[in-house]
Amino acid sequence: MVKGPGLYSDIGKKARDLLYRDYVSDHKFTVTTYSTTGVAITASGLKKGELFLADVSTQLKNKNITTDVKVDTNSNVYTTITVDEPAPGFKTIFSFVVPDQKSGKVELQYLHEYAGINTSFGLTTSPLVNFSGVAGNNTVALGTDLSFDTATGIFTKCNAGLSFSSSDLIASLALNDKGDTVSASYYHTVKPVTNTAVGAELTHSFSSNENTLTIGTQHLLDPLTTVKARVNSYGKASALIQHEWRPKSLFTISGEVDTRAIEKSAKIGLAVALKP
């Protein structure tokens, strides 16, 4: 595996995962089984208010080719074919949705010791073209993320990001929404043995002149149990506990409360993932 600055999506990822990953406000159940031929079959259900959504997906790996097919309750069929390293450092991803004839897309990724490039384009006569690139090394990375609509000749997305990493600290700065929003994030490992870490993200919108600050922390109670907590500048506080009750099988319960309106009911989310 190539070590380097990674892809543009990796800028600020550690802080985002700490602050937002695994927090759920709905009820979700996922179970994965494997056939005798090695095909992974995953069924999942999501209860969102009074609405229930479900899907079934299969994954087949053959050498360096992975094929994923998912069918949802709306009879949409999502297909993704990933070719890992057809050449050193490259990854190719083909995806399309049936019956959407305009959903076809090709994505190319390239990882180098000093660069990371990701580009994708739709398989239509006037596709949306996405490009992101990062230059740097394991310590400092500078990148940009662009989307160009060939039908209108307009850049629909124009972002830029900077990241600094050390053995226990990761700081990043990103300019998004065509320069309208700036975000700064911070991730610090306090105690590696217990995976104790703190993180923060500050976002400022120039058009609305609003600031949003979110801070959070995580800690391992034991090798199988993780607790996380966060709070933002709008007074919303969240916490979760996740337990791996058997290898790769996770039970997560999380809650959120608005400290400025305690009389309102708290949101409780539950997620169960079962794997053999």
pLDDT at residue 2, as a whole number: 58
- How far apart, in whole angstroms, are the C-alpha atoms of residue 220 and residue 218? 7
Residue 262, pLDDT above cutoff 90? no
pLDDT tens for each residue of 168-207: 999 999 999 999 999 999 999 999 999 999 999 999 999 9
pLDDT beyond 80 at 263: no
| Mean pLDDT across 219-232 | 97
Read off the amino acid at residue 71. V
Please state the rounded mean pLDDT for residues 214-220.
98
- CA 196, distance to chain mean position in Å, is 21
User: Per-residue pLDDT for 9 more than 90?
Assistant: yes
Distances (CA, A) of 139 to 10, 162, 167, 246: 13, 11, 9, 36
**pLDDT computed for residue 218 by the predictor:** 98
**CA gap 23, 228 in Å, rounded:** 9
